[in-house]
Amino acid sequence: MILQNVVWTISLVGMGLVALGFVYVIRQAGKPADDAATRKAAHTSNLLRRWLFGSLLVIFVGGTYATLHRFPIAPQHTPLDIHQVVDVVGQQWSWQITPDTVHAGSPVEFRVTSKDVNHDFAVYAPDGRIATQTQAMPGFTNKIVYTFTQPGTYKVMCLEYCGIGHAPMTSEIKVVAADGG
């Protein structure tokens, strides 16, 4: 399951529901109600608002728990006891990645920083989708922990605008099978 596809689907459904709500109300606008119908509509509207509030509250609490109970960013200030460590340095406009070959199936710790301006170290999977990313900031080292599941060549791109050479600022990481093959 590709996360981007899930997000796209949720967005389309959400925006679609909003659009349907507007279409429904717009179709009813211009058809004025009498007093009895107005009172009934006000009552229904209050009920619907409570239902909507309840639904949003459930989504809010459930979604917050589901997405944060295991914080998706690795601890930054404690040693991580990970055996594959890759040092990444960005500078206008190239990447220095050491080493540039890692094994699939076990976690990799990327230690990402910058020598000059802000960059963004984004790892693109062979299917063209972003696998993970972090900012490369001067004066700071950001640590990503990521486990590659598929061997292949992963493209590295800069996703923080850093000057005229921003778009061509690319590199590659080779991910080989766990047995080294």
CB 116 to other proteins: min, Å: 6
CB 176 to other proteins: min, Å: 23
- Nearer Cβ to other proteins (9/101): 9
- Nearer Cβ to other proteins (140/178): 140
Cis peptide before 99 (omega within 30 of 0): yes
CB 180 to other proteins: min, Å: 28
Query: Which residue has 């967005």 as its token pair?
Result: 11
Written as six digits, the tokens of 81 are: 């006891």
Could you give the C-alpha distances from 19 to 139, 157, 172, in angstroms and in order? 46, 36, 42
- Nearer Cβ to other proteins (12/177): 12
- Nearer Cβ to other proteins (84/92): 92
Tell me how far apart the alpha carbons of residues 123 and 126 are, in angstroms, rounded to a whole number.
10
CB 92 to other proteins: min, Å: 6
Tell me how far apart the alpha carbons of residues 34 and 39 are, in angstroms, rounded to a whole number.
9
- Say if strands 84-91 and 142-147 run parallel, antiparallel, or are unpaired: unpaired
